[in-house]
Chains A and B, each alone.
Chain A
Amino acid sequence: MQMPEPDQAAIAARPRLLAGLRAIVPADSVISDTASLGAFESDGLTAYRQRPLATVLPETTDQVAAILRLCQELGVKVVPRGAGTSLSGGALPLADGLLLGMAKFNRVLDIDLENRCAVVQPGVTNLGVTQAVQHLGFYYAPDPSSQIACTIGGNVAENSGGVHCLKYGLTTNNILGVELVLMTGEVVRLGGRHLDAGALDLLGLVCGSEGLLGVITEVTVRILPRPQSQAALLLAFDTVEAAGDCVARVIGAGIIPAGMEMMDRPAIHAAEDFVHAGYPRDAEALLIVEVDGPAGEVAESIAAVEAIAAACGATSARVSGSEEERLAFWAGRKAAFPAVGRISPDYYCMDGTIPRARLGEVLTRMAEMSRRFDLRVANVFHAGDGNLHPLILYDANAPGELERAEDFGSEILRLCVEVGGVLTGEHGVGVEKRDLMGTMFNAADLAHQERMKCAFDPDHRLNPGKMFPELHRCAELGRMHIHRGQMPFPDIPRF
């Protein structure tokens, strides 16, 4: 993975940067010694490491604005970081860049029940938002697996999902507004406590922009009343196809479960060995279907799903009889990543989305790749929305295995695109999938995205080297290649 060539002038400006930062924030909020910077050299994608020029931990919007202005003046790049849980290297530092840590923005500013929203600082964790409102009977719906650690600011930057997004949407569907600091230090507010934009929907553009457009300093999230009841079904199948068919028929019957998760045999075994959730070891595919809502509706939906599962040849079906049992069903799924971590020194988590109907074909071809690359793969799958998480097992200490795992991963993602899917469903492009963007987008598609970057940060100072395979100068992107044309398609009547 090639990051942009470090700018020697920016590196040379480090003493001025440090002095400038210490004039903006207390001295202990500027981290510059090599040992301490080691803590920031990587995020959740640990295969890539880079020490930043320095790390700064501001705690007010004014400080963030002053820091960005300083960096703009000095020509220093900035990489924003929430909790550093990105699985795509979104917070990977730059050798010539400042790491802007948002951890100190950790306060819940307002809980507004009348408008069913909460205003929080970006460093509040995802689960922290729910914890702040749960005593009032509310919760925040998007729930990425890293929710105890990941921050809401990072969730906005990555447009994070979770297991419940088929019914409740991703981050972009659950936020009302943000305060955003541009690279110039200018502070803009997008949205508020009302719905929709009164002009171009810049909030929708910023959500999922991976820290390339601005630094988020405040987020207004929608909160929802906690469902009256929840129940889950644990279904086992002899084939992945039968499980996939069951998912399609559930949705075809007009049921949108709160969550619908699938695991393949290797994932079932890893999870069962780890947490003893009572998963059937002889199943080829396991499906957890969760429904929520008023009690009568939940009972009705569970019965309907059970009948569909039986018709699809489920070899076992268990309904959670209690909250403990429901959580037990989930325990294995939620522990799937660490469970795989137990059976392999390292694993590499992929994140493509596919049209669900192609699942059988994709898994068959993935098994063939697994043989060819000589690396095991376990699959967990947000089956309702087609978001596939293949976990490639490898050993970073074995020569060549990391490279093989990466090649395997790239081939899986190319396959996702080939069958009509996309490179990333919820983890983001970051550095990881940056060079694969061309499999999904042509040069014109990418240029139209990059021009949005130019509208916010024309000098490419914010998080460069992420998302886009090549850094084009904004002047070059702005050039037009239109020839003086004749009247279009003159063969048809137009007047």
Chain B
Amino acid sequence: MPGPHLAPRNEDEVRDAVAWAVSERVPLEVRGRGSKAGIGRPVQAGATLDLSGLSGILLYEPEELVLSAAAGTPLAEVQAALDAQAQQLAFEPFQPQALFGAADSGSLGGCLAVNLAGPRRPQAGAARDHFLGARAVSGRGEIFKTGGRVVKNVTGYDLCKLLAGSHGTLAAMTSVTVKVLPRPKKIRSLVLFGQEPAAAGGAMRRAMAAPLDVSAAAWLPAGPAGRCGTDRIAGRGRAATVLRLEGSAVSVAERCDALRRLLDGAGEMEELHSHNSAAFWAGLRDAAPLAEPAARPVWRISLPPSGGPGFLQAAIDGGLLQGGEGFLDWGGGLVWLAVAAGDAGREDAGAAVLRQLLERHGGGHAMLLRGSEALRRAVPVFQPQAAGLAALTERVRAGMDPHGLLNPGRMAHG
């Protein structure tokens, strides 16, 4: 990255850096630990604002279910602190090592800025749902705070929701406060082998509609299942529908029995217990089964759960996945797709076809999570919005960053 590398050590220095950028009209690339710098449209910046120097846990009160940390604090450090108290970030943040070859899982601020939740999303919410408060420097070069450190708060507009998933385009966060939750004592997964997408979709929907607190539901075709990192699944060479239960030993056993009865007749079943189960879901969270070959663009598509299986099947039938593959998470509500790189006539990594297909399967949003710089410049990385909504979104963004200096264009199109 050409241009100055600004590495502030505290909030005032962040303010000074942005104020300088405002006065000189220098676009800034805002980054934490850089682990997810490959996400979004490439930014043309005149300087880098590196927030990794703002690091350290500021407050952690396990019994209040709350943790505050400087935005650049390594996520791994936060997770280690939570782990020591048998707590966790319930939204299972996506970690970029597998897909992006990142050195670590990045910063807490970065994890909130991308709002990429893992398999527990339907049950527990995304980063946005656990983001209680923030201090930040907006694109006006002014420090502001929003939210608080208590889990129940409706005082003023909820700007945390805006900051979550804003990819650093509204403000440079300096410190953040998140809700934390107890870590389940036991994890068990029920695996059904050999289902087609439609049947898997039905099984996942029945499981999640039952009062069994199923905390994740995914379907992998034979290919990705073979690379899921868990021998008990990979070794079978078949498609796998995987349903997760979490809680105390008694509760997990009770619910697993109930789930088996509910899905009786759906085919051969197997159970994964704690260690295997945790490893499987960690891999799924990060789309690790699609990581190789690294040149393949990867899409992450959120849609109504009923639409997922048909969408994936149509993508396969339409030849979109020649040389590529995909799987379902969120009970069908999330499709991960890796498409073949640079097919003739497929220079857009399937963007146009996929987005048309998405409209036919209930709508939602398709994000090109991984792609070369050239591809991310050529293809709308984020789902294009209707004109009125796009204009409103830009007015909101301009309210925070009137000169478009923070990660300019990262969430823009074309």
Contact = CB atoms under 8 A, between A and B. Distances in A.
B187 to A, nearest CB: 14
Interface string A418-446: 00111111111100010001001100111
Contacts of A189: 386, 389
B156 A248 contact: no
A42 interface: no
Given A205-B162, A437-B156, A456-B392, A488 B8 contact: yes
A453 B63 CA distance: 36
B411 A158 contact: no
Interface string B296-323: 0000001111100000000000000000
13 contacts: A199-B382, A199-B393, A252-B62, A355-B64, A357-B64, A421-B148, A440-B155, A445-B156, A455-B398, A480-B402, A483-B19, A485-B23, A494-B7
| Pairs A-B, 4 closest by C-beta atoms | A204-B161, A198-B365, A254-B182, A451-B399
Interface stretch (B95-103, B221-229, B248-256): B248-256
Interface stretch (B118-126, B189-197, B231-239, B272-280): B118-126
Interface in A156-182: 158-159, 161, 165-166, 169-170, 172-173, 182
A444 B142 contact: yes
B79 interface: no
Chain A contact residues, majority secondary structure: loop
Contacts of B211: 137, 225-228, 293-294
Interface string B104-145: 000000000001010001100110110000000010111111
Contacts of A226: 211
Contacts of A194: 302-304, 333, 362-365
A199 B383 contact: yes
A70 to B, nearest CB: 19
Contacts of B142: 444, 447-448
Most buried by B among A165, A425, A426: A425
Nearest to B62: A252
Contact of A296 (B7, B251, B396): B251
Contact of A480 (B117, B140, B330): B140
A494 B382 CA distance: 32
Given A194-B362, A198-B382, A448 B144 contact: yes
Contact of B154 (A188, A204, A424, A441): A424
B128 A196 contact: yes
Interface stretch (A14-22, A26-34, A112-120, A390-398): A112-120
Interface string B1-39: 000111111000100110110111000000000000000
Interface of B: 4-9, 13, 16-17, 19-20, 22-24, 61-66, 86, 115, 117, 121-122, 125-126, 128-129, 138, 140-146, 148-162, 164-166, 170, 181-183, 185, 205, 208-213, 247-248, 250-251, 254-255, 258, 302-306, 330, 333-334, 362-367, 382-383, 385-386, 388-390, 392-393, 395-400, 402, 411
Contacts of B4: 487, 494-495
A447 B166 CA distance: 19
Interface stretch (A278-286, A309-317, A338-346, A380-388): A380-388
Given A297-B247, A357-B64, A205 B157 contact: yes
A161 B151 CA distance: 11
A3 to B, nearest CB: 19
A488 B16 CA distance: 5
Given A297-B250, A422-B155, A425-B152, A492 B9 contact: yes
A425 B150 contact: yes
A192 to B, nearest CB: 5
A4 interface: no
